[in-house]
A and B are shown apart, each in its own frame.
Chain A
Amino acid sequence: MNTPLIKTENLTKIYGRGAAEIRALDGVDFEIESGEFVAIIGASGSGKSTLMNMLGGLDRPDLGRMFIAGQDLGQMSNKALAKFRNETIGFVFQQFQLLPKKSARANVMLPLQYRRPRREDEKALAEQSLARVGMSDRIAHKPTELSGGQQQRVAIARALVDAPELLLADEPTGALDSKTSTDVMALLKKLNAQGITIVLITHDADIAAYATRIITMRDGKITADERTEKAP
């Protein structure tokens, strides 16, 4: 196999000091290949979100190293990290995190606002991305005019705009009912089939079942890592 998309070595994050010390991540080692669909499961407080923020360049580890798409994140400046988040990563959050006063298209264009150099086809890219998640007919709608599932689709479109290498989703169905959850997961599955690597956090085994690999965490450590060859 060629070099993995993600590789971590002894990844450690410590909150608090002394007696109050919490190892949110405690020596995490794993590799993820390009094109995988990985679910990270574990109880609340097991360190899933901390790991995800680390992978997305939103936070820095206290110990250990990680390489994503050939880049050593520990060595990167704040500027380089911003560029990395902008071009390499797409985030999907539990609470959608859409700007309430902006249209769906404007929300999807947000990452492009920080692209250097600026692209001239921002609108077209945003519309393409909305088309990929089946929201072409809601381009001008504001988040308040959309259902939860639709909002999460717009958020996914924002994460996808201009083809990032890695999609990170932290409990993307956590705020959705089961019917809509199924729709969103089907969409992610489809996108993965189109070639995009996805790392998804959940504490729901049914949701994790959509993935091709499940990593289980507990107290900041990986306790299980299994591939499921089950058909979607």
Chain B
Amino acid sequence: MRHFIAAYVSLVSRPFRTLLTMFGIVIGVAAIYAMISIGNGAKKMIIHSLDGINTRSIAITPIWTENKASRRTERRPFSEADIEEISRIEGVESVSGENSKEFSVAVPGADLKVGIDGSDAFYLRTKSMTLKLGRNLNETDLQSKALVAIIGSSVAQSLFGTNHPIGETVKIDKIPFTVIGVVEKHETNLSSRRDENKFVLIPRTTARARLMGGHASVKNHVEGITVIFEREQDFSRIEDDIEHLLRYTRGLLDSDKLNFRMFNFAAARNQMMQVQRVLSLLLGSIGTIILIVGGVGVMNIMLVNVTERTHEIGLRLSVGARRSDILWQFVIEAILLCGLAGIVGLGLGWGIIAVAEIIGEFKMDTGWSVAALAFGSSLFVGLIFGYLPARRASRLHPVEALRHE
């Protein structure tokens, strides 16, 4: 404690030099604190963005490609047979196919444009949705092209308000459907629709025959497939199997580009996390480099200090100071200098975080552990860069030191 007071007095007796020396450490600590907080905040945001999303799913959609003659080919849909084949791949839990289009949905007194999803019994599961009322689609519905509908919670709210919708009739593109189910309100942070609860689910066969049909070519078509697999670690193997299968059914050569795309949330998340990690590492390194540069500044000024106070060191040795006393005196002075700078740096870093939160519109993660890490690193820099000058001070010969001018 006494050492700290002595060191403090020594520092405040040279305020300008102390402040200048602190500058590098202040910036370094602020940078480390702010950057790790921002990095952690970004990580949390990425993880949070996938809440409510099944990470054991692959979404497959056809895409435009260019063929060899550089002519754009049609977006080629999948078929019912593809669904059959994919569901036989080992490790696949369920597969659902989907054809979607927007239609007007009406009850007496209310009319609404809603995305109609023509799908199957696995639709809800692949989207991690659950039924609130009624029943799910089944095989019979698909085979008989039944005029039944399951409605999202927003649709239920808009068309029926507080009334019980099950058994009621809704007209989709003027065709009457019976409501057999209502889906529980679902919340994710990542959705292709603006309101993910605003949809109507009907059998895919019905959709093809009654709403999106007419064209012979549309007979068997499926526009999107979602696959759920049993274990997350099987992802890449299953992805390979699906790619292999679809290449075959779509007649692609090995040299051809894929004319479909597979998307997995977990893989996407991992990719985002990877980017975030690299970014955090980069930002952290910048902070560390600034801190090291600051540390070199501290070392420099401590060396100047030792030289200027050679006389004092000689005197202290002559009245009975041990070499270790001198060593500690200067090490503590450097640590205190960096510690004070660390506190200021935390304040500055906190300010940067506050501004970044306003500009970046996301919540930073300013845990105590991050603050402690940033502050601790300033003390560490004090110890490391203060040691050499302190050692030099403690090695001075008392007679030479006293004679020094």
Binding site for B on A (CB under 8 A): 53, 56, 58-59, 78-79, 82-83, 85-87, 91, 93, 97, 99, 101, 110-111, 113-115, 158
Contacts and interface: CB of A to CB of B under 8 A. Distances in A.
Contacts, number: 55
A85 B399 contact: no
Nearest to A86: B320
Contact of A110 (B316, B323, B397): B316
A58 B403 CA distance: 12
Contacts of B216: none
Contacts of B322: 78-79, 82, 114
Given A58-B317, A82-B320, 19 more contacts: A56-B318, A58-B398, A59-B397, A78-B322, A82-B317, A82-B322, A82-B323, A83-B320, A85-B318, A86-B319, A87-B320, A110-B316, A110-B319, A113-B321, A114-B319, A114-B320, A114-B321, A114-B325, A115-B320
8 contacts: A58-B402, A83-B320, A85-B317, A85-B318, A86-B319, A91-B319, A99-B315, A113-B2
Q: Secondary structure of the B side of the interface?
A: helix
Nearest to B312: A99
B233 interface: no
B405 to A, nearest CB: 9
Interface of B: 2, 9, 13, 311-312, 314-323, 325, 397-399, 402
B66 to A, nearest CB: 81
A207 B158 CA distance: 112
A216 to B, nearest CB: 23
Most A-side CB within 10 Å, residue of B2, B311, B316, B318: B318
Most B-side CB within 10 Å, residue of A58, A78, A83: A58
Contacts of B318: 56, 58, 85, 91, 97
Contacts of A113: 2, 321
Given A99-B312, A101-B13, A114-B325, A158 B402 contact: no
A41 to B, nearest CB: 21
Contacts of B311: 97
Contact of A85 (B320, B323, B397): B320
A93 B320 CA distance: 15
B320 A59 contact: no
A82 B399 contact: no
A140 to B, nearest CB: 16
Contacts of B397: 59
Nearest to B323: A78
Most B-side CB within 10 Å, residue of A79, A91, A97: A97
A87 B402 CA distance: 20
Contacts of A78: 322-323
